[in-house]
Amino acid sequence: DAGVTQSPTHLIKTRGQHVTLRCSPISGHKSVSWYQQVLGQGPQFIFQYYEKEERGRGNFPDRFSARQFPNYSSELNVNALLLGDSALYLCASSLDPEGGLAGEQYFGPGTRLTVT
Amino acid sequence: QQQVKQSPQSLIVQKGGIPIINCAYENTAFDYFPWYQQFPGKGPALLIAIRPDVSEKKEGRFTISFNKSAKQFSLHIMDSQPGDSATYFCAASKHNFNKFYFGSGTKLNVKP
C-alpha cells in the first residue's frame, strides 16, 4: 500500500512569492494534518482537516491556508513568502481523528521549501 | 510556550547499550503519547505510542515508560544497533487528536 505522498519534493521560491504544496493521504484515511519542521526542531502543527472541514489550526499567520478535496487530498498554500518560511513541510494522514487508535498519524516524506 | 519538553538534545551510545530519551508535559488533558523516529530527508515514522491508563508498553526493542503523576514519559531502546541512529521525537495529543504537540527531538548516534 502506498503511504502518504507529497509533492513537490523540493521547491525554491523568492521572498514575496506564493507556494502550493500537495498531499495525498493513505487510501481510506479521511484526515490530513500539515506541519512545519524547521531544521533542528520538532514539527509544529499548522492545520488539520477532516471530511473537508478544518478541525484545528496552529499559531501561524493568515498567510498560511489549506483545503481538503472530496478525494481527501489536500493543499497547503503560503502567500507572501518570508525567509523564515524555509522549512520541511510535512503532511500526516489518519483514519479518523476521534477514533482512538484510528487517530494515529502517519507522515509523508515532506516538501523541502527554500525561500531566498 | 513549549507544550512538550524533550531531553537530551543528543545522545551517543555503544552498540548494545540502552539509550533513554525523556519527555515532560504540562497539560493534563493530553492522553495520547506517541514516539516518532526520523531519518535524514524522511518524514517522521510512528514507532510506539502509549495512553495514560498503563505505565509501560513494549514493542520489540522499544519500551515506553509513563509516569502520570510526574507528567513524564520516556523511550528506552533495548540492545541498540547502529541502524537505530536517527532523531527521535516525542509528542502528545488530546483525545480528539486534532493537534499533536512535538518535543524538540533527540539525535541518537549508536556507535558500532
Flag whether residue A56 sits within 8 Å of chain B, measured between CB atoms.
yes
- pLDDT at B1 exceeding the cut of 70: no
Specify if A57 maps to a domain: yes
Q: What was the pLDDT predicted at A98?
A: 63
A110·B89 Cβ contact <8 A = no
CATH number for A94: 2.60.40.10
**3-state secondary structure (DSSP) of residue A102:** helix
Q: Which of B34, B89, B99 sits opposite A56 (nearest CB)?
A: B99
Q: Pull the grid cell for residue A46.
A: 499548522
Count the domains in chain A: 1
Q: What pLDDT, in 10s, does the model give residues A44-75?
A: 999 999 888 998 899 999 999 999 999 999 99
Flag whether residue A109 sits within 8 Å of chain B, measured between CB atoms.
yes
Nearest to A102 by CA among A25, A24, A2, A22: A25
Strand partners, B107: B10, B87
Q: Which residues of B touch A104 (CB under 8 A)?
A: 34, 46, 49
Specify if A106 maps to a domain: no
| Rounded Cα distance, A4 and A25, in Å | 5
User: pLDDT tens digits, chain A, 116 residues: what are they?
Assistant: 679 999 999 999 999 999 999 999 999 899 999 999 998 899 999 999 988 899 889 999 999 999 999 999 999 999 999 999 999 999 999 887 665 555 678 899 999 999 99
**3-state secondary structure (DSSP) of residue B23:** strand
Specify if A107 maps to a domain: no
Enclosing domain of residue A18: 5-101
Specify if A74 maps to a domain: yes
Contact B101, B1 (CB under 8 A): no
Specify if A36 maps to a domain: yes
Q: What pLDDT, in 10s, does the model give residues B62-94?
A: 999 999 999 999 999 999 999 999 999 999 988
Specify if A115 maps to a domain: no
For residue A4, the chain B residue with the least C-alpha distance is: B43
CA distance B32 to chain A (A): 9
Domains with residue ranges and CATH for chain B: 4-103 (2.60.40.10)
Specify if A39 maps to a domain: yes
Concatenated DSSP letters of chain B:
--SEEEE-SEEEEETT---EEEEEE--TTEEEEEEEEE-TTS--EEEEEE-TT-SEEEETTEEEEEETTTTEEEEEETT--GGG-EEEEEEEEETT-S-EEE---EEEEEE-
Please give the angle made by the CA atoms of A96, B61 and A110, to the nearest 5 degrees.
45
Q: Which residues of B touch A4 (CB under 8 A)?
A: 43
Q: Which of B91, B101, B104 sits opposite A41 (nearest CB)?
A: B104
